[in-house]
Amino acid sequence: MRRRLALLVASVSALTLIAFLVPLALLVRTVAEDRATVRATADAQALVPVVGTADPDTVRLTVEQLVAESGRPVSVFLPDGTVLGTPATRTPAVELAARGQSLTAESAAGREVVIAVQGRTDGTTVIRTLVSRAELGAGVSRAWTVLALLGALLVAAGLAVADRLARTLVRPIGELAAVSHRLAGAELDARVTPAGPAELREVAGALNHLAGRIQVLLREEREQVADLSHRLRTPLTALRLEAESLRDPDDAARVTAAVDGLERAVTGLISQARRRADPDGPVACDAAAVVGERVAFWSVLAEDTGRAVDLDLAAGPLPVGLAADELAAVVDALLGNVFAHTPDGTPFAVRLAPDGAGALLTVADRGPGLPAGALRRGASGAGSTGLGLDIARRAAHTAGGRLDVADGPSGGVVVRLRLGPPPTQPSLIVRAARR
């Protein structure tokens, strides 16, 4: 913006100066030419009384004295053809003046001033003087130089003022952009100091108000999440008591494990919401431990439904930039999709391998494939919430990776989840809690 404002001011200043200085420069040249012509005419007219009354010798002496004083050629053409003073040929202007008409004429050498002197008994005498081009333009170059320097000085002053004005506009705009980027990076305490014109100060106030409103909304969201946690404690406790009262130990253990998993999921959601609202540094977990534990959990259900599991996990630790509960939720969502969208007995494979400094998690099945539109958030073809892939996509984005979904070479769906490393290696890798 500063460059554009400077260019605009320079253009306007240059056009304005051209509109005024060019006519002024032409006027200066015209005035100089007229001044030289008037001076030469006055010198020639001073000879009229002498030429009209004196004898030729007196006229010659007077003309030679004038030539010496003025430095310009002066010639007197007598009616008999004699030329006194500076030798010169009879020009068309002289011939015209010999008929009784005084005039000024332009020539290649300069400007001719011819004066017809009448009253002599032998006819009309003509006085001719020549104003050279150098005399006509005397002082013009210096005046033009002064005008050019004045124009350059005015343009420079305009550019300085424009740059100062541009800084008063650009600096507040830059601060607004910086604060908006900080807000986008979850620095919700970032504020901008209103500065600049009234419009920019109004925008700064609106941005600060927006940041404050975002903080209020996030605070209310955290409170709602906390309320949700508190409300779920009672039914979870009731379910746990019901599970412990079952007579079959296996059924009691299975239901208790499910209740524990539900409680951990709720706690993880609350922790995740608080982390996003109040980030306190990078998080990480051992992907090998988390994925291995969740696959072990789902393997029990796979065995009950007759599904073969092909498991290939890299040896840990394999740190990734994602919290353990978030990665566990991602694995549960992907494996839950397999059980929800494929018939019983459909085999699936889970592979975890290093991918640069991060990790690559691949979940493939041999089911009927992905239904149309299932990649949209909330879309589902099996009566589910349709949020599983979106949860995985957002988790991959959080960890600096991405989610790829494609058809398998022999049917089914292949989901590849790339997870980046922690932003800075923490001193302690957060491992999966015991399920």
| 294 in the same domain as 271 | no
Cα distance between residue 62 and residue 362, in whole Å: 117
| 208 in the same domain as 267 | yes
The CA radius of gyration of the chain, in Å to the nearest whole number, is: 50
What are the tens digits of pLDDT across the range 358-369? 889 999 988 877
| 90 in the same domain as 102 | yes
C-alpha dihedral sign at 245, 251, 255, 260: positive
Average pLDDT over residues 20-30: 91
pLDDT at residue 12, rounded to an integer: 86
pLDDT at residue 271, rounded to an integer: 62
Residue 276: band (very low, low, confident or very high) from pLDDT cuts 50, 70, 90? low
Percent pLDDT > 90 in the chain is 20
Is residue 7 one of the residues assigned to a domain? Answer: yes
Percent pLDDT > 70 in the chain is 85
| 291 in the same domain as 263 | no
**β-bridge pairing 309-313 and 348-355:** parallel
Is residue 435 one of the residues assigned to a domain? Answer: no
- The count of other CB atoms within 10 Å of the CB of residue 44 is 23
**Mean pLDDT (the chain, rounded):** 81
Query: Of 118, 101, 108, 131, whose CA–CA distance to 38 is shortest?
Result: 131
Is residue 398 one of the residues assigned to a domain? Answer: yes
Is residue 179 one of the residues assigned to a domain? Answer: no
pLDDT at residue 278, rounded to an integer: 52
Task: Report whether pLDDT(78) > 80.
Answer: yes
Residue that terminates a domain, selected from 280, 299, 327: 280
Residue 275: band (very low, low, confident or very high) from pLDDT cuts 50, 70, 90? low
Residue 324: band (very low, low, confident or very high) from pLDDT cuts 50, 70, 90? confident
Average pLDDT over residues 245-249: 77
| 91 in the same domain as 62 | yes
Is residue 146 one of the residues assigned to a domain? Answer: no
Is residue 172 one of the residues assigned to a domain? Answer: no
Task: Give the domain extent around 292.
Answer: 282-419
CATH of the domain at 347: 3.30.565.10
Residue 434: band (very low, low, confident or very high) from pLDDT cuts 50, 70, 90? very low
Count H helices, E strands: the chain?
Answer: 11, 12
User: What DSSP element (H or E) covers 303?
Assistant: helix 287-304
Lowest model confidence (mean pLDDT) among 57-71, 128-142, 146-160, 221-235: 221-235
Is residue 250 one of the residues assigned to a domain? Answer: yes
| 301 in the same domain as 409 | yes
Residues 6+ apart with CB under 8 A from 124: 79, 97, 98, 99, 100, 116, 117, 118
- The pTM (predicted TM-score) of the whole model is 0.46
Task: Report whether pLDDT(265) > 50.
Answer: yes
Is residue 133 one of the residues assigned to a domain? Answer: yes
| 304 in the same domain as 248 | no
Lowest model confidence (mean pLDDT) among 58-67, 223-232, 303-312: 223-232
Tally of domains in the chain? 3
pLDDT at residue 256, rounded to an integer: 77
Lowest model confidence (mean pLDDT) among 92-106, 191-205, 260-274: 260-274
Interaxial angle between packed helices 249-277 and 324-341, expressed in degrees from 0 to 180 and rounded to the nearest 10: 120
